Structure 1
């Protein structure tokens, strides 16, 4: 089969299309003909050597989410058969014509969705649900501040918050704000020209928001804390702006009953990942069909052979929603 490989860490040019062996089917695996694969920022970190090794533990091929057709079913698999259309999160190996996926990380593709849009769901919507709904405990009537709201996880979080009945504050680059409003944001903030903490304070009469979903890290930390209401939760999903050291007034944390929660899917135990997918599937999967549909947001598609161009598109930070690789 054909897959994207790289022999050294570096810029996008290291990615090459090559002929490789098909993955071995294990008892809990589905072997899937990949029709589309999502591109994630973790792939960029992987390519640059940020994880210090050439694989994610399950494959030397990069890529974390797929949509395709089941070719073979492992002996311990339940609920799937050859020919089923599935999407899901893999432990590496998505940038290939064939991939394997633990059946508990897979989900059936809603009937109305094609493979490209299905591939735009698993990583970002599961992450958004886990961060905002499960850990952040967002509920109807709450207010939430979502950073990087035009990105993959951010655009998913905006939709889930809107569907929950929360008031949605969202930051993005100015040219992307209109699209974020279309996804369900009530208040949009141009992070380049506006102070989001001041904006939130003004719009909430100084109360703040119940939940902050942040992907940036240290540059936003103090203002995130300042934006939280009494009993608020800051859920740290990424550190795109750098990790570094942060300082916090412990009295603010203590007397305002603030919680700071970190979450990364990649470093969780496999059983925890199964539970994350299960929680998302139970709450939201049926909302991708029928009335009041959730929308997989696709920015652009690239053939598998042009994976380097897909990475450059993500590095440009111009995308709104997911970048997808296609194999057919």
Structure 2
């Protein structure tokens, strides 16, 4: 498909339907009830500017192979295409002494899981160091430009993504002690420098590869994009591919263009920056709920500190998940109960670090010029005025950015584990999402108390958690953790659960609690009430809290939690 044309079909007012056609006149897509909404120039400018500095994009940089990883022994399994790339690659590797198993495209039905399982059985106890998936190469642009177009696109996706999914499942079921490295090879799937036309039929395999890199880190998935301008069996390019397989470094995204090797890097998106308003204090607010693009800088008058208050010039402010939920409108009912009727009135940012510029009457121990960390309202701003009880001197060893990230996550973890759950030395605790901000704080607190920690996170973070002292790291993407916890504890379970996950994770987590255990819920969505928990586990103590709400009903709570957090860092406990 080289181009699209749209034919609008009017409905009424600013609403219309549209049908899209390829250049040969074939209808390829229908879009119904498209609504046009007028936008003011100011809104367009705000939407353009807000992304600057916050958005990163993939950039391709020329990069030669670095020193290779330690070589592995074993066979190279090539899942061949129909165009001859796999056959020629096998010849090159065999000529260099590699043991090659070439699986022809017609041998296995890519849509059949049984075919891939049979292949794994045939490989049996053979030691495989690499599996090279070339089936996506058959989806060429020419094949998609003929009259069948959309039908061929569906077949191409089944051959590449569908077959790869069944392949991964078969590898997982095979239970190899040392899984092979997976190579996903495409041609023209990425807009690397020099690319005239990308291939949309092969690009989805890169998306699947990104997921595999997270969900199956043991396969060390590499995505390699060949040059769409090169002949299909260009010997120079295939020799480069063979060299990659034989001496792989740690690059996971590679593209060849004009014989030059490129690697993917994230770089800050350039354009219009969200720059401070010259000479004016400002704060960040959303003009409407529903999209991060609605965020903008808004002029605001600085507020002189009242009795027992301080004004801080903000150097760094922390962005929490709750800020995102507020901006998207997912906590709108919660805000309305608190008297906040409009998105523009919803404060964003609950913690910051900076320098005190003014103090109010009755303030002692904090003076203008002090570097501090603080909790407050609307901390995503140039200046914040807050109660002195919510301000503490910044630990000298921490930067402003590091200090700004402390109050919410450590206050939440301290309140959850020390004050509500009353976690004790020798007890077992399950911490969900342990690689996140609150999870990392909770992990340090639990280990400091002498507890035995079980934790969930995505597989790529397990090694880090284990190195920190976690006894058993498990997946936060599946429910397997429940059986794993019970097996590791001899059926006794854990004494405390710190949960932030949703759905079926909640009853499964309740199920691993030992009799009389304590369950602390810090999630913001899909939260169970006490009656529902009691119907399933009447024996457990159930605590659900939001730190901001808890502070409103317990004067002094935020101040004591902040003091405990800073004291822990000053003492080196965290």
Distance 1:32 1:97 in 2: 9
Aligned CA RMSD, in angstroms, stands at 2.5
Distance 2:464 2:555 in 1: 31
Residue 290 of structure 1: CA displacement? 5.7
- Give 1:14's aligned residue: 294
Residue 74 of structure 1: CA displacement? 1.5
- Give 2:418's aligned residue: 133
Distance 2:336 2:374 in 1: 22
Unaligned runs of 5+ in 2: 1-280
Distance 1:144 1:51 in 2: 33
- Give 1:189's aligned residue: 474
- Give 2:559's aligned residue: 277
- Give 1:320's aligned residue: none
Matched, 1:63 2:349: yes
Contact 2:407 2:562 in 1 (8 A): no
- Give 1:262's aligned residue: 544
Cα 1:66–1:29 shift into 2, 3 Å: same
Residues 15-53 of structure 1: per-residue CA shift (max 9 Å, x gap): 112332213422232100111111111111221222345
Residues 270-318 of structure 1: per-residue CA shift (max 9 Å, x gap): 4625224314524x53332465x52xxxxxxxxxxxxxxxxxxxxxxxx
Which of 316, 341, 349 matches 1:36? 316
Residues 169-194 of structure 1: per-residue CA shift (max 9 Å, x gap): 11111122223334432211112245
Residues 97-138 of structure 1: per-residue CA shift (max 9 Å, x gap): 111121112222111111011011100000100011100100
Please say which structure displays the higher CA radius of gyration.
Answer: 2
| Higher RCO (Cα < 8 Å, 6 or more apart) | 1
Matched, 1:153 2:438: yes
TM-score by length of 2: 0.47
1:197-216 → structure 2 map (5 Å cutoff): 197-216=482-501
- Give 1:286's aligned residue: 567
Which of 358, 380, 386 matches 1:72? 358
Distance 2:421 2:316 in 1: 31
Contact 1:217 1:239 in 2 (8 A): no
Residue 164 of structure 1: CA displacement? 1.2
- Give 1:243's aligned residue: 527
Cα 1:160–1:22 shift into 2, 3 Å: same
Contact 2:551 2:557 in 1 (8 A): no
Contact 1:143 1:169 in 2 (8 A): yes
Residues 130-172 of structure 1: per-residue CA shift (max 9 Å, x gap): 0111001001111110011111111110111111111011111
Cα 1:249–1:18 shift into 2, 3 Å: closer
Residue 248 of structure 1: CA displacement? 4.7
Matched, 1:220 2:500: no
1:161-180 → structure 2 map (5 Å cutoff): 161-180=446-465
TM-score by length of 1: 0.79
